[in-house]
Chain A
Amino acid sequence: MKNIDSGNHTKGQSVYLDDIPLVAGTLFGAVFSSPVAHGHIEQLYLAEAAQHPGVVRIFTHQDITGENQIGGIIPDEPLLAEHEVDFCGMPIAFVVAMSDEAARAAVKKIKVDITPLPVITDPRVAHAQSKLIVPPRTFRLGNTELAWEQCEYVFEGTADTNGQEHLYIETQCAYAIPQENGELKIYSSTQSPTAGQRTAARVLGVPMHQLEVDVIRLGGGFGGKEDQANAWVALCALAAHHLRRPVKYVLHRLEDMAMTGKRHPYSSDFKIGLDKDLKIVAYEVDFYQNAGAAADLSPAIMERTLFHTTSTYFIPNVRATAFSCRTHLPPNTAFRGFGGPQAKFVMESAIATAAEKLGIDACLIQKKNLNQTGDEFPFGQKAVSEAQACWHKAEELYDVEKLRQEVDAFNATSTLYKKGLALMPICFGISFTNTSMNQARALVHVYYDGSVRVSTGAVEMGQGVNTKMLQVAAQTLSISPAKVRVQTTSTNRIANTSPSAASATADLNGKAVQLACQAIIKRLKEVAAQVLQAPETAIELQDEQVLLNGQETELDWKKLVTAAFLKRVSLSEHAHYATPDVHFDKATEKGHPFAYHVYGTAITTVTVDCVRGTYQVDAVRVVHDFGRSMNPAVDRGQIEGGIVQGIGWMTLEELLYDSAGRLRSNTLSTYKIPDIYSVPKEIAIEPLQTEQDNLAIFRSKAVGEPPFMYGIGTYFALRNAIKAFNPNSPIAFDAPMTPEKVLLGLYPQSATGTQHVHEQSLRHVAAS
């Protein structure tokens, strides 16, 4: 089944927030944000801006009727700066005007005196100054101290990954519309309607029942509209609350890029020990997470990093410590993979280090250490593993030996181009690691004409979750998908939702839909049994027919529904689902936090242009653990999109902050995401169909985040190609592998350090 929105999407008829017809009297907001990354606000000059034609009011922290606080996990983030600014782009004032242009023109007239304070952009510097968001955490398995002695080889190193801008094509936005009795209906482009509602209620100082957050769909999210969507909801709500007029704010791209947090950059130190058979005996790692100026979701992301320390491998002795470091960048946040990809990059860097030092192919180490069912993760859960199955199937199906020979043969004869190949196994845990969030609700109405509406806490952002919800309802009720509509995600219909995140949205909400539909079916069967005067066990509902002992009866779906209504039987159900079996004890750092893991293996081949330092990904060939996909078209799209986004993170996408904490790659002309020409020439996806039961909806395993990590293979394939040209290249483990890093890897320059972040001298940064 195709994505149910796809027809409207292609006609331009799908409604996004900025397409909602304006309510008469709507005002427009725009944020004035801090021009410096850290300092004391001495004086804020609003008078000139307030005089600008069309300006209705300018809001500052003094206008906040509740609490000036939007921190979700930790209350450390004011909505509007009071006396100190902590990052460049931190909101200070919110201008509301009769038009969008007037609001933006007035913002330009606001001035502020700020006494600068020292700026930290490097997580290691923050760590050295003990500026941590939360206390560090350590996961342990076995005893690394004792294990080093058993190792034939021990290697140490450093690995760095840069952040990543979400670059959803629809920017952040919110639209608050006053209702009667002081209530507000707030449209938001958010992955987390409840978080928006809770945050706005806190800022306004009103109970949550006074606010509705309603989400039609998102023009992309990827994690960037989880907690990062809250500020705009709160600002529009605050202004609408004061003015009793509708207030809308759609961020410009520049504002969005400057003000919102991104994927966390990490800098990590690793130590790996292997025995003479290349079994990894011990692994130690210290993760320095660049959290930015406030916690946002950083502690949860740090936790998921720790959960993915060993990637797809079993290592008997592990010590992993993570530090969430407070810097003066915008608060970094969720992004597809949520800290997992960063951990996997370090693990693969450690393996690559060992392989390069030993003069062997990294695949030999990778393959030897893949986890197996029953192996213990450092956090205590036992693996139910498809790692070996995926790897072996990929090796055979795509004939890795032949691919490798082709690469070697090409490299032996080619001077101007070199090829590289790398394998990337993945293992990704599904569930919110905060156990309490693994719950969801669904509301199913069957109308007496037989049509059905479904509401869930799931937010549609292109991942096809509404399509899957519709499928669950149609399949469970055994009716045509055409009879089912999925409603917008509203906190009025579904309360206390978890965000659409962690790849778990379809599982959690789908299970809730299934439970609701099953309850309705149960009642309908009771009615059918009465009407047909037969035992319930003899009755089945199938394809909109009521079957008695497998035979059609006079009852069909519509007649049965009508009969049930006339008998005063409820045709609606609100169901609740909580993932069974998951638990985690932070005191011991042990438990069973994941419902299941998703596995896979990718084989990546690349070609590097050794004159120019540019490159092409020739192919990414994958064997992916789908369980049993309930929608292969949607899931294939998630895999292709995830791979390309992962490749973007590993190659082109380079966030550049200068030492003053200002984002320099702040436009689409300076921050490059993949275009149609920069994607792999070939992406092959082979399902690993498994039949064993799991906790996924219809056994269709979560697919949102795991494929992102196949992109890491591209980094190592590029590295291998560079080494084929220059075996002595000292290239560091420092993603992304931009064409600059490739060229400097091919031809190491003796002069300046080539791996340092650019120190900006912007006399003529040509934005043009």
Chain B
Amino acid sequence: MLKFILNNNEVSTDLPAGTVLLDYVRYNQHLPGTKIGCREGDCGACTVLVGELAGDQVRYRSFTSCLTPLGNVQGKHVVTVEGINMEQLNPIQQAMVDESATQCGFCTPGFVVSLAGFCLSGKKPTAQNAVAAVDGNICRCTGYKSIERAAARVAQLLEAGEGQDPATYVAEQQILPEYFTSIKSRLRALAVDTSPNGHVLSGTLQFVGGGTDLYVQKHDQMRELATRFLFNQADLQGIVRQENRCVIGGAATVSDLAESAVMQEFFPAFRPFLRLVSSTPIRNMATVAGNFVNASPIGDLTIMFLALDAQLVLSDGHTAREIPLRQFYLGYKVLEKAPQENVTAIWFELPDAASCFHFEKVSKRTHLDIASVNSACCFTVQDGFIVKAGISAGGVGPVPMLLPKASEYLIGKEVSEGLIQKALEIAQTEISPISDVRGTETYKRLLLNQLIKAHFLALFPRLNARELLRRLSC
């Protein structure tokens, strides 16, 4: 039996925990405001908010309900557009109407819910942050300018509430319904075991983290599979520092990583790159470990952590072992992992003052898209000489890869345009891109060169850009 709060009602269901929230909301609860656009998390028409207790507050994040198993909202507060409706239009809705930010209207509830999520997020009330909250919502009619204008007005609504508890403020200001103030105590009262794993049936065990890849790839099967839900498992949460290591829980999401106090204090250079990873709702759902295990050759986080030489802790429930991420990939979607093992933690050494990290990604669309090629690098530089180097590259082979030869070549050398050219030549021998929907082989080879140049231009601004661009470009 799954229990959670849906809008202003405590609900329970016997449906399989693998059922997607979208179908439950629309067809079991008959709340048709949540729309179906793509069922792959790429349009945002089905966006809902999911709130859970976090310390003394309820923390709300936007989810695409098409990729959310019911098991992942056990014991939480799920908010659909119906749950933010008040007698009159609420001020978010009014802003959308006033700015003519809705045309056919099919995507509109998703935008409204995402903006409500922004109001509950406690993020700084800037127009930029309000727009970021709808970065997972696609509209085909408006051209977005009217939505930008509406988002800016929503940000203004929040200016007076900075520093206050968001749920209390939005209820007081009648931005969202009054009942939001009651949710904290109701979630406490609900007090269910948030991990819905009961007796696991026979058959191959399917681990589910955020579900953002599994529910795209195996949508039809997920409902019936013998599933082990990791997303809410208490021992897999959190991001902590142990000596100089950053340890990331096996269920920590990309948003957890972005908001992590440890990362912000000890590795502030990292966060900006996460904006290039998918969209806000997907980052809210997708786990770092899931990105690794999915083994996409162009997984953004995989590429970042390959450069950082991250280590994985795997456990089959009895025995734990460690393996470097760099040794995790044996072939296309083949992992050095037994079926019964899951990633319980990930750790890496926090970079010191002599180290620098950079990430580059080019996709057809800069945001909410999968890379044509991506690459990360981590260099340690002493007296102008590279003493440690790791360059990773995605989209240029069957697995996300480190470029060991190109990386090795840099060690002990002083950075120069000529050195980079030589490293690029070596890198080209290490990759085997193919032509596919994300680009031709020719393009991917050229693009990797460009991205590696971009790393150096970003990290070593004294380089001669004109000279560097000319080298190995044709």
* Chain A interface residues (CB < 8 Å from chain B): 2-3, 5-16, 18-19, 21, 101, 104-105, 108, 166-171, 217-222, 250, 252-253, 415-416, 461-464, 610-614, 633-634, 636-637, 640-645, 652, 654, 656, 664-665, 667-670, 672-679, 683, 738-740, 743-744, 746-752, 754, 758-768
Contact = CB atoms under 8 A, between A and B. Distances in A.
Given A637-B100, A654-B364, A764-B436, 20 more contacts: A7-B89, A7-B97, A10-B93, A12-B112, A13-B85, A250-B36, A461-B104, A612-B450, A614-B362, A636-B146, A670-B438, A673-B140, A675-B138, A676-B147, A677-B367, A679-B143, A764-B398, A765-B437, A766-B296, A768-B296
Given A169-B104, A670-B437, A611 B81 contact: no
12 contacts: A6-B97, A218-B104, A462-B141, A463-B103, A672-B365, A676-B139, A677-B367, A678-B366, A744-B443, A760-B437, A763-B434, A768-B370
Interface in B22-44: 30, 32-40, 42-43
A752 B38 contact: no
Given A679-B145, A743-B450, A253 B39 contact: yes
Contacts of A221: 104
Given A11-B81, A415-B469, A2 B442 contact: no
The 7 closest A-B pairs by CB, nearest first: A12-B33, A462-B104, A219-B106, A9-B105, A644-B143, A462-B103, A668-B42
A640 B145 contact: yes
Interface string B359-375: 01011111111101000
A463 to B, nearest CB: 7
Interface residues of B, number: 92
- Counting chain A CB atoms within 10 Å of each CB, the highest count among B108, B298, B368, B454 belongs to B108
A764 B364 CA distance: 18
A750 B296 CA distance: 30
A10 B367 contact: no
A500 B144 CA distance: 24
Contact of A464 (B89, B103, B365, B442): B103
A664 B40 contact: no
A611 B450 contact: yes
A641 B142 contact: yes
Contact of A10 (B42, B108, B298): B108
Contacts of A462: 103-105, 141
A479 to B, nearest CB: 23
SS class, residues of chain A in contact with chain B: loop
Contacts of A675: 135, 138, 144, 365, 367-368
A253 B38 contact: yes
Interface stretch (B213-221, B246-254, B404-412): B213-221
Given A612-B454, A654-B364, A740-B439, A169 B296 contact: no
B447 interface: yes
A749 B104 contact: no
Contacts of B440: 740, 752, 754, 758
A358 B106 CA distance: 49
Contacts of A754: 440, 442-443
Contacts of A610: 469
B6 interface: no
Contacts of A640: 142-146
B465 interface: yes
Contact of A641 (B143, B296, B446): B143
Given A14-B105, A170-B106, A750-B474, A645 B443 contact: no
Contacts of B297: 764, 766
A11 B90 CA distance: 9
B107 A739 contact: no
Interface in B94-126: 96-98, 100, 102-109, 112
Contacts of A171: 36-37
A170 B364 contact: no
Contacts of B104: 168-170, 217-221, 461-462
B167 interface: no
A12 B37 CA distance: 14
A17 B331 CA distance: 45
B434 A764 contact: yes
Contact of B34 (A12, A416, A677): A12
B332 interface: yes
A748 B82 contact: no
Contacts of A746: 473
A102 to B, nearest CB: 12
A761 B434 contact: yes
Contacts, number: 291
Given A7-B93, A739-B362, A747-B473, A18 B100 contact: no
Interface of B: 30, 32-40, 42-43, 45, 80-82, 85, 89, 92-93, 96-98, 100, 102-109, 112, 131, 134-135, 137-148, 213, 216-217, 220, 294, 296-298, 332, 360, 362-370, 372, 395, 398, 434-443, 446-447, 450-451, 453-454, 457, 465-466, 469, 473-474
Contacts of B298: 766
A644 B216 contact: no
B97 A12 contact: no
B143 A18 contact: no
A744 B442 contact: yes
A301 to B, nearest CB: 20
Contacts of A669: 40, 42, 216, 369-370
A105 B220 contact: yes
Given A13-B33, A749-B474, A220 B140 contact: yes
A146 B229 CA distance: 77
A738 B364 contact: yes
A298 to B, nearest CB: 23
A611 B452 CA distance: 10
Contacts of A767: 216-217
B89 A170 contact: no
Contacts of A219: 35, 104-107
Contact of A768 (B85, B98, B294): B294
Nearest to B148: A676
A24 B314 CA distance: 51
Contacts of B85: 11-13
Contacts of B105: 5-6, 8-10, 14, 217, 219, 462
Nearest to B146: A637
B436 A760 contact: yes
Nearest to A636: B100
B372 A678 contact: no
A253 B42 CA distance: 11
A683 B37 CA distance: 27
A469 B80 CA distance: 32
A636 B440 CA distance: 39
Given A12-B34, A675-B365, A761-B436, A416 B465 contact: yes
A170 B110 CA distance: 13
- Counting chain A CB atoms within 10 Å of each CB, the highest count among B42, B105, B436 belongs to B105
A236 to B, nearest CB: 18
A739 B372 contact: yes
A667 B38 contact: yes
A162 B340 CA distance: 47
B120 to A, nearest CB: 17
A461 B103 CA distance: 8
A743 B443 contact: yes
Given A744-B443, A747-B473, A10 B89 contact: yes
Contacts of A415: 465-466, 469
A6 B332 contact: no
Contacts of A10: 89, 92-93, 96-97, 102, 105, 108-109, 112
B36 A18 contact: yes
B65 to A, nearest CB: 13
A21 B31 CA distance: 11
B442 A645 contact: no
Contacts of B370: 669, 766, 768
